[in-house]
Chains A and B, each alone.
Chain A
Amino acid sequence: MKLKQLINDKDFENARLIIYLILFISYIYFAYFSHFQCSGCPLCGMTRAVKSLLILDFKSAFEFNKMVWIFCITIPIIILDIVVILKRRCKKVWFKE
């Protein structure tokens, strides 16, 4: 299956939407309820960095862990993907192809 076919596959779209919903619910949990910390590996401080990122505190996020830039890239991609899927599903007139 080609990449474009795979991305436009209806089942894959449904799976992506459900995964994004799970991530959104997890955002609420990790922003307000998670208080865990680890040490000793390159991913040290990643949970704290993601928590700072969720409240848009980019300076603290990069101080906790430099690799948090991965999330800075993936979050806009996820938002774009949701918009494209919903556009295709709802067939709104004002979006131009």
Chain B
Amino acid sequence: MALIKCKECGKEISDQAESCPNCGYRLKENNPQKVIIEKTNTCRTGTIMCIVGGALILGFALIVALAFIFPNTTTPKENTTESDITINVTIGEEVETDTQAVINYLILIGTISITIIVLGALYLKNKINRKYTSLYGIVMLILSIILSAMMTVTLNCCLLFLFIAPIICFVGSIMIISGNIKEKSNEIKTTN
């Protein structure tokens, strides 16, 4: 038990009390801050997942960008076994390596991943107003879908398994939206 000051009259009262014995100011109804922090755990978990996914994609984009700026002169070893089935994935006609197109593509996915990381950091620092959580969740969902689509379409780029990173962002954005819906439904229940 701790002593706190009443917001109305300034008298010291117990934090466990429902109302101030001096002026009658109701503490429990007018102290929603703690409840809000507990209810946004799903949103916070989803935001952390989006930041992790964005960081993975940004790292991937930087490595591949460096690879095209400083190309590798060694050729890949051709260790083929019976179980090794190789398929060259192309889109339409045979794709020629176009450095400028690749750099543009990497700049685009790098920008999107930086946006995800910055928005996530702002949300975790409570710089984004909580009433815009649904909008934030929808923005993250759209960005993660764009990233997933881009990674799927350009499968002739290396590291197929980094497709996991947009999936992490997508799951994170779903968690943010579901957490927000759950919070809003709980608020409706408490007001009713």
Contacts and interface: CB of A to CB of B under 8 A. Distances in A.
Summarize A's interface: helix, strand, loop or mixed.
Answer: helix
Contact of B79 (A42, A47, A63): A63
Interface string A39-74: 111111111101000000000100110000000000
Interface in B41-84: 41, 44-46, 48-49, 52, 63-64, 67-68, 71-72, 75-77, 79, 84
Interface residues of B, number: 36
Interface in B165-190: 167-168, 171-172
B158 A43 contact: yes
B157 A38 contact: yes
A80 interface: no
Contacts, number: 87
Contacts of B44: 11
A36 to B, nearest CB: 5
Contacts of B84: 48
B72 A41 contact: yes
A8 interface: no
The size bracket of the interface on A is 20 to 34
B1 interface: no
Interface of A: 10-12, 14-15, 18-19, 22-23, 26, 30, 34-48, 50, 60, 63-64
7 contacts: A22-B164, A38-B159, A40-B71, A40-B72, A47-B158, A47-B159, A47-B161
Interface of B: 41, 44-46, 48-49, 52, 63-64, 67-68, 71-72, 75-77, 79, 84-89, 97, 155-161, 164, 167-168, 171-172
